[in-house]
Amino acid sequence: MQADRADGAARAVPMVELTRGDRVESLHCGHAVICDAGGLIHAAWGDPGAVIWPRSSCKMMQALPLVESGASEGLSDAHLALACASHQGAALHVGAVERWLADLGLREADLRCGAHDPADRDERDRLVRAGEVPCQVHNNCSGKHAGFLMLGRHLQAGPEYVAIEHPVQRAVRAAFDEVTGETGAGWAIDGCSAPNFACSLAGLARAMARFAAARADGDARARAMVRLREAMMAAPEMVAGEGRACTELMRAAPGRLVAKVGAEGVYTAILPQRGLGLALKIVDGATRAAEAALVALLTREGVLAPDHPAARKRLGGPIRNWRGMDTGTLRLAPGLP
């Protein structure tokens, strides 16, 4: 994997640059791939074969066994969007996960994701005022883990669902390999303690294209893909939260886009009306660059209006300092449309 990363970095192309005055101050390089419904590369920048950790950008694949197995029967769009979410721990998210666990007869202690401060300021302030500490339901992956617990119960498996040999993770790995069309790239532990499976950018984009092309009259996997795709578009506030790129961009392109962030500069997108899937990786892990590149590619494919406030917020216009003075711009590097 170390060699893969080094080679991938060498083949990355400039994507986003930050200027200060009339000079380029920072330059972010990366890779991006768009695949069509047949799994063929529709467009690419950098190296489509670069192997990456998809991190949370692949959560819809991790949720596939939950839906495909029938374990999710009766779950709402909000539940399934949470199963694919990297939420910010707002009261909306925390309450939904707590109710989901209670409906399963489970407790916060049954989660295996660990605790961290919520990104949501209101919830963080509430905890401070109440003299409380964050718990595992505040973890941005707690919805995914609630889905793992539900699948584990359906499979009549043990409580350590994040173990690589647990039936839940075996089901996830099988779905991941089948949908990306790749095997054997390795695995590592993600921030939430669940396994994360490596793949190429092309494989990740191919998987997103399969979600985009799936039809409700297809087989069990296709129906599961449609269910997850539609749930994320129906409840974008559950996928991330207010002010976050995934939520705002999906709202800006209703019915045309599923966007999912992953840590360290990764993004995926599902374009159901175009039958396309997108995956991108900024090599230095910069979120600001990943969001800008995503907006550029979504605009290129006609699913996002370039003048929409959610697009302009991430790409376009000057950068201002704390006094409101223009200091530079965040813009696309030459060669990235």
Q: Is 155 exposed, middle or buried (0-12, 13-18, 19+ CB in 10 A)?
A: middle
pLDDT of residue 185: 87
CB neighbourhood size of 10 (10 A): 11
In the chain, what is the straight-line distance between the N-terminal and C-terminal CA atoms, in Å?
30
Instruction: Give the span between the Cα atoms of 206 and 276, in whole angstroms.
Output: 8
In the chain, DSSP assigns E strands to 13-20, 23-35, 41-45, 51-52, 187-189, 195-197, 199-200, 258-262, 266-271, 276-282, 318-320, 326-332
Q: What domain range includes position 35?
A: 2-332
User: 147 lies in a domain?
Assistant: yes
> In the structure encoding, which two tokens stand for residue 222, read together?
């296709």
pLDDT at residue 267, rounded to an integer = 98
Distance CA 73, CA 204 (A): 27
Structure-token match 């996960």, residue found: 97
Token output for 181:
């069309």
Question: What pLDDT is attached to residue 22?
Answer: 87
pLDDT score for 317: 76
The structural domain count of the chain equals 1
Q: What is the CATH number of the domain that holds 76?
A: 3.40.710
Domain annotation covers residue 26? yes
Q: Tens-of-pLDDT digits for all 337 residues of the chain? A: 444 544 567 799 999 999 998 899 999 999 999 999 999 999 999 999 999 999 999 999 999 999 999 999 999 999 999 999 999 999 999 999 999 999 999 999 999 999 999 999 999 999 999 999 999 999 999 999 999 999 999 999 999 999 999 999 999 999 999 999 999 789 999 999 999 999 999 999 999 999 999 999 999 999 999 999 999 999 999 999 999 999 999 999 999 999 999 999 999 999 999 999 999 999 999 999 999 999 999 999 999 999 999 999 999 778 899 999 999 999 999 877 7
Please report where in the chains the tokens 């941005």 appear, as a residue: 140
Tell whether 325 is covered by a domain: yes
- Is 274 a domain residue? yes
Of 142, 3, 28, nearest in space to 79 by CA = 142
Cα dihedral across residues 295, 265, 211, 193: positive or negative: negative
Residue 284 lies in a domain: yes
**pLDDT at residue number 8:** 63
pLDDT value for 184: 79
Cα 273 from Cα 256, distance rounded (Å):
6
Q: Is the pTM of this model over 0.85?
A: yes
Handedness of CA 123, 124, 126, 131 (dihedral sign): positive
Q: Does any domain span residue 337?
A: no
For residue 300, give the amino acid letter.
R
Examine residue 321 and state whether it is found in any structural domain, yes or no: yes
Query: What is the DSSP track for 200-242?
Result: EHHHHHHHHHHHHH--TTS-HHHHHHHHHHHHHHH-HHHHS-T
Task: Say if 30 falls within a structural domain.
Answer: yes
